[in-house]
Amino acid sequence: MICLKSERELETMDRANALVHRVLRAVEEAAGPGISTGELDKLAEEMIRADGGIPAFKGYRGFPATLCTSVNDVIVHGIPKSKHRLRSGDLVSVDCGVLLDGFYGDAAVTFGVGTVNPEAQRLMEVTRKCLDDAVAAVKPEGRLGDVGAAVQVRAEEAGFGVVREFVGHGIGRALHEEPQVPNYGKPGHGQRLKPGLVIAIEPMITGGSWRVSIDDDGWTARTEDGRLAAHFECSVAVTAGGRRVLGLEESIHA
């Protein structure tokens, strides 16, 4: 069932997502050669709890940490570890979720540690543009297929792969609500976008094959061919006048 949010509920979700984005900025600033992904996870949890939030991922279906830290060929769901220290040249995707005042926030960023190679830089830039294109496709009475097609066209024109096994999702009082939000699709097809709908759009783009392999831990999802992956995400509300990117000082109108 699709749950539409009131303006008051959107304000609460805006605060939850603002906390997520503050955490992601702090994590990116702290990330450097030699720091462990476990240390970044501790920083994130401390920030979330200090602001009255609850880490949304920790304990969710058994996931053991506050952040998903996905390095290099890991697409999503990388588990932070005290022994996993970042090195210059690493490509790091960090996904964070928060529960605040009964509503969830969810976002992700990808960044390089130190100096990354040109192909990694291009993958990051294209994936970020995929998210921007997808957000721009959100409008009242639009279609979910418009959102997915925006990601797919940008990524595939750049020669990159679009992950199909994992998708974006609705979000609100639950971390994952209907509808699913694929990163591929046909314009003019799929669920209509109604004011009050909030979706977490999250392009997951690879440097080669879109196929995925899962580690023995049951969580860590890697590119099947070992190529790099990037992941960006934000939560977007459909409004009567256009769309609102929650947690950021950005309200876009069609």
Query: Is 209 a domain residue?
Result: yes
On the question of a cis peptide bond just before residue 64, with omega within 30 degrees of 0, the verdict is no
Query: Is 2 a domain residue?
Result: no
For residues 14-32, give the mean pLDDT. 98
For residues 226-239, give the mean pLDDT. 98
Contact 134, 147 (CB under 8 A): yes
- Tokens 């390095």 found at: 71
For residues 149-177, give the mean pLDDT. 98
Which CATH number fits the domain that encloses residue 77? 3.90.230.10
Contact 231, 105 (CB under 8 A): no
Q: In which domain, by residue range, is 127 found?
A: 7-253
Count: domains in the chain: 1
pLDDT tens for 29-38 read 999 999 999 9
pLDDT tens for 43-87 read 999 999 999 999 999 999 999 999 999 999 999 999 999 999 999
Q: What is the mean pLDDT of the chain?
A: 96
pLDDT at 252 over 70: no
In the structure, what pLDDT confidence band is assigned to residue 1 with cuts at 50, 70 and 90?
confident
For residues 175-203, give the mean pLDDT. 98
Query: Is 108 a domain residue?
Result: yes
Query: Is 30 a domain residue?
Result: yes
Query: Is 127 a domain residue?
Result: yes
Contact 1, 90 (CB under 8 A): no
Query: Is 27 a domain residue?
Result: yes
Query: Is 1 a domain residue?
Result: no
DSSP per-residue string spanning 19-65: HHHHHHHHHHHH--TT-BHHHHHHHHHHHHHHTT-EESSTTGGG--S
Q: Is 247 left (phi over 0), alpha (psi -120 to 50) or beta?
A: left
